[in-house]
Structure 1
């Protein structure tokens, strides 16, 4: 007789979602149901607001060639200016892209035609290095890893037979004092951080005093001091800009690029100039400057055209240097889940973002209090009413010039945990998003940029998410620390790794120094922390207790090399024997995101740990496959 405990248990009921997209309940990692407080639901309904009655008739139609349409007869003006008639369905040969559809009664809607699957060469596999770029500084760096260092790592990867480099988010923060350390809380997801510029590679730098000695001296610091680095770089960059643009003669390649980038770049550069004048949070600016389309902002822009041009010029330099650094190897860039509430994207799209709430995570096994990440979420219906443009621009800009995208917390395309500003993270609720549309947009942008897409699907993942990712050609993310199955049993449609920036390095776990640091910051009871360490150590397999940290690293990557996954990733932190993880969530006094690697980039190629890990992963991918090649794309050109 079968015992009650072993009998099939009923599947928990799916949460009820109301007209605002709010789930009335949620399931934790143990499939326990939690009910959202009515007061929270009412608060979030007020934040979301009521969409216009005709929203369904105005939102974009997202479809694939051959799909039936929700309109019968319509004329479509395609991106190339041609017109086509559609009647009930899209022809199989309909061009991909962003088009304008007009019905016989005069209504216009955006028509987004997607291939439905992200770009990925059939049969291609590769291994690569995961790099915290700011930490990867060399002798020519100025206190922080830069795009010159990325070029060095890329060249190393090429010589070792690697096919990609995975980097932290490179998105920009405010250009003011008090630089944000976390790469996951940028001011924008559309533009990059000029702190990563290699000054020696800037056109015109040879003609001014670049203060190279002072810059290199910043490498002597035990930690990365972004304020000191940016203060010096900005001063020198301003000097170069002034020398190159002494009169009205801005260099033509920059002028042409700026014209092509259009209004988004103008908004960013204007926000930077306003932040210089009034501070990095637009909520504290004079009221008349809080409207990006208001007369006061237009007047400010006219009076500060040179300052605005400077910030636009920095973005041009970043575009040029990133493309040079990534040449020949796929660079997978990380897309954060959101932006700072006082930043440029929040200013430009304030009518689309929710006010009075932020994104986070409910309580789970790793954090009993839940998490508040500080970013305001996009309101789903307002995002639709904006033709999905904020999302489109963020995806496109992050893919640009490199060939790969890693979507942080990919579950956020399906639902996000909203935390009211006057409550705790545990007092939030999930809000649903039009994930099918968003996934199809990712696939379209991936197809155009020929960019591989990885979704970071770690933690509590609801049913259907990974299936939808697989349908759209988005690779899953598998960690040695988290998976119960041996790497050899992992799926091919994934990126495999040992650890991430938020989790212990192999050396830190093996020596116990990571455990000691967690104790120091009060991140759990001794019993809980010891149990957590033992659990992670078990994933290393059979490693002799007297093994050195280097031997433990090799054991971990020898196991990882057996994974059949499309991408296999190794961190430079592990290869170099670094015991400190880049970020320890919850450790408020710890210098997160400020820890440099112990070896300069020029010495990476000769480091025995780097050589050993590279050899293990290269052997694991035998027989070697042809490296994926991307078609070159011009900056800003989505086609």
Structure 2
């Protein structure tokens, strides 16, 4: 965030920081969280934790962790084990200290935070999948769960997880003061996770959401995420949704809503059936959008709706009327960036699509074929031809020049917010996530080829930043 601000950025857009269940193996995808209301301790900077400098062995653990940076592929399980050791050592040092700020945070966050921390402690004891826990602990409001607060050993573990959320809150707040952070709201959460445990009364636990078959994916998609039942959510006063939006907007300058059409309708698939057997179920969009509007107004935050793919015109009109920014990609738009709508966030690509380097060199198309996918080769070549026309590049043009010229073009968009990716700034060829794959591609597990600290000396990154920060512009840049 500090580097982005120094380059003229007014915001920093991040992937979901949502929590995963604190056991092994760790879930790599930030879009399959245990909870959307709480944050993942893996993102904590251990050295900046309160009390870290007082604990012996922290530097040794940090050195061991830094050795992982030599590997391109991220091993979250090793990182989790190392960080958990550090967290526990620091907690043992500070847990008996009086910290009024921590106490205030714990009190203000109240029951939802206690129950989330209790879930974490129970998951450590009984494993993932709360449906298989002892019956006494399968409900968040069960008497046995509430009694955990009086169990010395378990209550200490619960406070440990509360303390981790407090430290995350402090570090996110500090980062957002450098450049306001735009958080990312996943479309759902893990059926075995903390949110599903807490909100089970308003979920259709025999359903999962996904996408119907289409020309790009003839089998459709099943995301394995349980949907809210619209009438049950309304009867609950929309409290689960309000908690989620409010949590995501805490210390945030904005919120990107993934698959924003999900506020209008979701594709439900019955358990044990194929996507072709599913159907769309409508949501109370006006109510949900009103909640988003109110919470964003309170947080003084911008809202971005990821409206890629098929979006019904009435939905887009509704979003525009509520000042939700559309999401416009250079890869998808048939018009040049200069003709993008002002009420939009403009980007070149997303984590699910080719990077500029991957597209231009052909390596992304090649990778798809190598892992057995059936890529839309014609569509990819058409995008590459548009890039060639837009940048006036030839096959002999240096790759970094092509990347810079693409962002020169994006910089001409009238969009309210312009964004660039770190992958493009480092000319990365591999995309972060390859949809419709699991073990075939290292989804969400490829680190940048160089440490983030090297951005200060990265000429391409500086060149991209200049393209998006022209003095004549009043638009926001990320």
Q: Is the 8 A contact 2:304 2:326 kept in 1?
A: yes
Q: Could you tell me how far apart the structure 1 residues matched to 2:143 and 2:7 are?
A: 55
Q: Could you tell me how far apart the structure 2 residues matched to 1:426 and 1:609 are?
A: 45
Q: Which residue of 2 aligns with 1:272?
A: 120
Aligned pair 1:568/2:418, yes or no?
A: yes
Query: Among 167, 177, 181, which residue is 1:327 paired with?
Result: 177
Q: Which residue of 2 aligns with 1:602?
A: 453
Q: Is the 8 A contact 2:416 2:475 kept in 1?
A: no
CA deviation string 1:579-611 (max 9, x = no partner) = 000001123221100101112121102111101
Q: Which residue of 2 aligns with 1:118?
A: none
After superposition, where does 1:70-85 map in structure 2 within 5 Å?
none
Q: Could you tell me how far apart the structure 1 residues matched to 2:209 and 2:338 are?
A: 35
Query: Among 29, 37, 49, which residue is 1:182 paired with?
Result: 29
Q: Could you tell me how far apart the structure 2 residues matched to 1:185 and 1:539 are?
A: 34
Aligned pair 1:467/2:346, yes or no?
A: no
* Structure 1 ranges of 4+ moved more than 6 A: none
Q: Which residue of 2 aligns with 1:367?
A: 217
CA deviation string 1:241-280 (max 9, x = no partner) = 11112x4x44221111101110110110000000000012
After superposition, where does 1:186-205 map in structure 2 within 5 Å?
186-205=33-52
CA deviation string 1:290-310 (max 9, x = no partner) = 021112222334211101000
Q: Could you tell me how far apart the structure 2 residues matched to 1:367 and 1:333 are?
A: 29
Q: Could you tell me how far apart the structure 2 residues matched to 1:384 and 1:279 are?
A: 32
Q: Could you tell me how far apart the structure 2 residues matched to 1:329 and 1:198 are?
A: 18
Query: Among 43, 61, 67, which residue is 1:217 paired with?
Result: 67
The SS at the match of 1:491 is coil
The SS at the match of 2:449 is coil
Aligned pair 1:478/2:328, yes or no?
A: yes
Q: Which residue of 1 aligns with 2:168?
A: 318
Q: Which runs of 5+ in 2 are unaligned?
A: none
Aligned pair 1:376/2:226, yes or no?
A: yes
Query: Among 367, 371, 379, which residue is 1:532 paired with?
Result: 379
Q: Which residue of 1 aligns with 2:435?
A: 585
After superposition, where does 1:234-313 map in structure 2 within 5 Å?
234-245=84-95, 247=96, 249-303=97-151, 304-313=154-163
Deviation, 1:164, is: 1.1
Q: Is the 8 A contact 2:420 2:464 kept in 1?
A: yes
Q: Give the number of equivalent residue pairs.
A: 468
Deviation, 1:624, is: 4.0
Aligned pair 1:554/2:404, yes or no?
A: yes
Deviation, 1:529, is: 3.8
Deviation, 1:533, is: 1.9
Q: Could you tell me how far apart the structure 1 residues matched to 2:468 and 2:289 are?
A: 31
Deviates more, 1:156-165 or 1:432-441: 156-165
CA deviation string 1:328-354 (max 9, x = no partner) = 422111000000000001001100111
The SS at the match of 2:202 is coil
After superposition, where does 1:132-211 map in structure 2 within 5 Å?
154-208=1-55, 209-210=57-58, 211=61
Q: Which residue of 2 aligns with 1:127?
A: none
CA deviation string 1:77-113 (max 9, x = no partner) = xxxxxxxxxxxxxxxxxxxxxxxxxxxxxxxxxxxxx
Please provide the CA RMSD for this pair. Answer: 1.4
Q: Could you tell me how far apart the structure 2 residues matched to 1:307 and 1:250 are?
A: 17
Deviation, 1:626, is: 8.6
Aligned pair 1:623/2:447, yes or no?
A: no
Deviation, 1:396, is: 0.7
CA deviation string 1:467-498 (max 9, x = no partner) = 11111110000001111111111110000001
Q: Which residue of 2 aligns with 1:148?
A: none
Q: Is the 8 A contact 2:428 2:449 kept in 1?
A: yes
The SS at the match of 2:209 is strand
Q: Which residue of 1 aligns with 2:359?
A: 509
TM-score by length of 2: 0.96
Q: Could you tell me how far apart the structure 2 residues matched to 1:559 and 1:426 are?
A: 40
Deviation, 1:613, is: 0.8
Q: Which residue of 2 aligns with 1:35?
A: none
The SS at the match of 2:192 is coil
Deviation, 1:543, is: 2.2
Q: Which residue of 2 aligns with 1:88?
A: none
Q: Could you tell me how far apart the structure 1 residues matched to 2:277 and 2:395 are?
A: 44
1:194–1:354 CA distance, 2 compared to 1 (3 A): same
Deviation, 1:212, is: 2.1
Q: Is the 8 A contact 2:72 2:448 kept in 1?
A: no
Q: Could you tell me how far apart the structure 2 residues matched to 1:598 and 1:611 are?
A: 17
Q: Is the 8 A contact 1:171 1:190 kept in 2?
A: yes
After superposition, where does 1:333-344 map in structure 2 within 5 Å?
333-344=183-194
